[in-house]
Structure 1
Amino acid sequence: MAPHRIALLFNANKVYDRQVIAGIGQYLNSTRVEWDLFLEEDFRSRMRDIHLFRGDGVIADFDDPETEAALRELSIPVVAVGGSYHDATRYPAAVPYIATDNAKLVRLAYDHLIEQGLARFALYSIPELPGSRWAQEREHAFRGIVAAEKVEGLVYQGSPTTAGGWGEAVEHLVAWLAGLPKPIGLIAVTDARARQLLQACVIGGIAVPEQVAIVGIDNDPMAQLLNRIPLTSVIQGAEEMGRTAAHVLHQMLRGMDCASTRIVVPPVGINVQVSSKFQPLRSPHVMRASHYIRQYGCLGIKTEQVADYVGVSRTVLEEHFKRELKQTVHQAILKHKLDTACELILGGEATLADIAVRCGFTSLPYLYAVFRREYDCTPRQYLERHRATTAS
């Protein structure tokens, strides 16, 4: 029996596409399946004359709308590979679809930055284009995360990468980085964009990771070679996507109906390098707990709730806090509440009664009692001392 003739329609000049193709190859090498593969000689994917392809099946990158449109009328089995969508109606109809989980890619990068002790975040994306729907999905995921966790999160799309406009694009990127509050954790939608961030930080004299901690997506070896600072990057499950796509096409060639198949493949993990190792604290439990306390410390949270968020027992968390910060979790929560109260008192824009409520103290007398115990003064005396110190 002659081998099936299969077209692989990917831009294999890109690391993600190469990884998907590698997964397809792994499937072929681990089974008795024999395919006669068509792949562009220069590794680019062209839709020209695809309707004339006399083959048995196609595996294609559907992140490009032109690819989806060109393959719509083919009468042979087609398996689509692309990014996941938060809106299920955006998936192509009647085509099996193997997706990278855009939301989990961003979540993994974000969680890593939290573990480094960071409280501010930004995303470096790319301009909205028909072929960049995956980037907009990563933007959507990022905006959803920072909104849900009530933390500061900025998005910058920048400019397309062109030789003619590169100088101006870099100037704008340096200016954006210089204006960011620091320290800050930055997620780039690809390693290529992360590499641009690293270059811009060098040009702008911005310390990485001391001022800006950077995480990319793709784990591209070339990006590592072109950077002086090793880049932390999320590893997509692209090879697993390729293996899965090949398996689904194999089933279709054997007569199975897979039109409704939709499989979302999570990331493999994260390759942690120097670019993101901002570590004011050593214990990841303390870092994650501190992140939670920064968000909810004034809302009456207790030690048990912090431990539940971190995912460890109260005893374990207390041990980490005593070793790392020389204080209990309760004392850390109280310090956050007092620090917030002090900022509001010095700001002078709220009454002491309002400050007591906003900072999680049950009453104004309790706020006074805590100030006397911790600072040996009342809130008003604290303000007067600060004014006197500033005046002198």
Structure 2
Amino acid sequence: MAPHRIALLFNANKVYDRQVIAGIGQYLNSTRVEWDLFMEEDFRCRMRDIHRWQGDGIIADFDDPDATDALCNLTMPVVAVGGSYHDAAAYPVNTPYIATDNAKLVRLAYDHLIEQGLQRFAFYGLPPNPRSRWALEREGAFERILAADGMESTVYRGSPTSAGGWGHAVEELVAWLRSLPKPIGIVAATDARARQLLQACVIGEISVPEQVAIVGIDNDPMAQLLTRIPLTSVIQGAEEMGRTAAHLLHQMLRGATCADTRVLVPPVGINVQASSKHQPVKSPHVMRASHYIRQYACLGIKTEQVADYVGISRTVLEEHFKRELKQTVHQAILQHKLETARELLAGSTTPLTDIAVRCGFTSLQYMYAVFRREYDCTPRQYHEAHRQIIPS
């Protein structure tokens, strides 16, 4: 029997879409199902001529309104993937739908910020757009959660991301952040928006996470690479969505009727990083110094440079650190370098020499000496004991 011809209509340049597609691939690799897959060569989603598709089935991103319009009346099996809706009437009719649970994504981010001891919260979303209805759903979920807790919600949508208006948009974002009561926890609609918050905090000299703690959604590796302060992010169950969508389409190709099927997939968890690890600090000097250390510790900065940045003498800064954090400035710098090294050792296959350089140690031997002193093991032993399984 010839394999079924299946079209995958996604914008695979986005991390969420790629994860869904990865889940589809995992389903195919774990079963005997054989599909002849079609995707655009540049990984973009185009609906042109889709009504002329001579295939057997389609899995499509229904967050794209063009997909809803173009695919709802096709006679072949179609499985929709997209965001969940608070209003059940917003789901497409007579189309099986696999959704990321927007309310649970926001709830996980909010609960994490609550656990950090924060009592004020805001949401950084997106301007209304038919192609980002999921962002408004997340915003609405945030407002409902805070209303249920008897708290006032603060929402800022900002401006669309564009090269021409970016300078003005950043100025507005910095002004909004400065206007907020602090400390405060902010949930961003995406990691891309969270990254903008981190950049604005750096520009506005707002301490993260002492004054503003930030949580994004997507767990996008690219966002991590483009920020000096590691970003906390909610991990969507996008791969599970892909596996579920593929299984559902497989059943439909075998004659099953699934038109009324609706599956909400919860988040996998939350990747907690420095951007949200809030700890109350009274001294503005310690806040400012900690913000600087978090950005530049791995570049080999010294206590004198931190004091110069804060604008006070080394002696005074050391007094503030010992009173607030019970450690010296040097110890705080070393602690950040060690935390970064531990993350790299556990989550990557980067050579030890490269890790030592990236974390600001003067030599691999020095990193070994510090590890033995602090953790009673070598970096290699730490890697063997804590390494994660890296997908091939």
TM-score, normalization: structure 2?
Answer: 0.71
SS at match of 1:7: strand
SS at match of 2:153: strand
Separation of aligned partners in 1, 2:214 and 2:139: 16
- Aligned ranges 1:170-319 → 2 under 5 Å: 170-280=170-280
Cα distance, 1:146 vs. partner?
A: 0.8
SS at match of 1:58: strand
Structure 2: gaps (5+ residues): 282-392
Cα displacement string for residues 264-321 of structure 1 (whole angstroms, at most 9, x for unaligned residues): 000000000000000349xxxxxxxxxxxxxxxxxxxxxxxxxxxxxxxxxxxxxxxx
Separation of aligned partners in 1, 2:198 and 2:211: 12
Amino acid at match of 1:4: H
Cα distance, 1:64 vs. partner?
A: 1.2
Cα distance, 1:224 vs. partner?
A: 0.2
SS at match of 1:13: coil
Structure 1: gaps (5+ residues): 282-392
Separation of aligned partners in 1, 2:148 and 2:93: 31
Separation of aligned partners in 2, 1:184 and 1:129: 27
Say whether the 8 Å CA contact 2:126–2:159 is kept in structure 1. Answer: yes
SS at match of 1:133: helix
Cα distance, 1:73 vs. partner?
A: 2.4
Amino acid at match of 1:158: G
Residue aligning to 2:344 = none
SS at match of 2:6: strand
Separation of aligned partners in 1, 2:234 and 2:197: 16
Amino acid at match of 2:115: E
Residue aligning to 2:11 = 11
Identity %: 80
Is 1:81 aligned to 2:85, yes or no?
Answer: no
Cα distance, 1:147 vs. partner?
A: 0.8
Amino acid at match of 1:118: L
Cα distance, 1:151 vs. partner?
A: 2.1
SS at match of 1:152: coil
- Aligned ranges 1:92-107 → 2 under 5 Å: 92-107=92-107
Say whether the 8 Å CA contact 1:119–1:152 is kept in structure 2. Answer: no
Residue aligning to 1:310 = none
Say whether the 8 Å CA contact 2:107–2:145 is kept in structure 1. Answer: yes
Residue aligning to 2:141 = 141
Aligned CA-pair RMSD: 0.9
Say whether the 8 Å CA contact 2:124–2:186 is kept in structure 1. Answer: yes
Cα distance, 1:72 vs. partner?
A: 1.9
Cα displacement string for residues 52-102 of structure 1 (whole angstroms, at most 9, x for unaligned residues): 111000000001111110112211100000000111011101000000000
SS at match of 1:171: helix
SS at match of 1:174: helix
Separation of aligned partners in 1, 2:119 and 2:199: 24
Cα displacement string for residues 152-210 of structure 1 (whole angstroms, at most 9, x for unaligned residues): 32000001001111111111001000100000000000000000000000000001001
Separation of aligned partners in 1, 2:168 and 2:184: 24
Is 1:90 aligned to 2:124, yes or no?
Answer: no
Cα displacement string for residues 5-36 of structure 1 (whole angstroms, at most 9, x for unaligned residues): 00000000000000000000000000000000
Residue aligning to 1:124 = 124
SS at match of 1:20: helix
Amino acid at match of 2:277: K
Say whether the 8 Å CA contact 2:72–2:92 is kept in structure 1. Answer: no
SS at match of 1:93: coil
Residue aligning to 1:162 = 162
Residue aligning to 2:68 = 68
SS at match of 1:42: coil
Say whether the 8 Å CA contact 1:119–1:151 is kept in structure 2. Answer: no
Separation of aligned partners in 2, 1:58 and 1:224: 33
Separation of aligned partners in 2, 1:279 and 1:255: 56
Mark the structure with the bigger radius of gyration. 1
Say whether the 8 Å CA contact 2:186–2:215 is kept in structure 1. Answer: yes
Amino acid at match of 2:95: V
Separation of aligned partners in 2, 1:256 and 1:147: 42
Q: Structure 1 stretches (4+) deviating beyond 2 angstroms?
A: none
Say whether the 8 Å CA contact 2:72–2:95 is kept in structure 1. Answer: no
Residue aligning to 1:112 = 112
Residue aligning to 1:43 = 43
TM-score, normalization: structure 1?
Answer: 0.71
Amino acid at match of 2:247: H
SS at match of 1:135: helix
Bigger Cα displacement from structure 2, 45-54 vs 269-278: 45-54
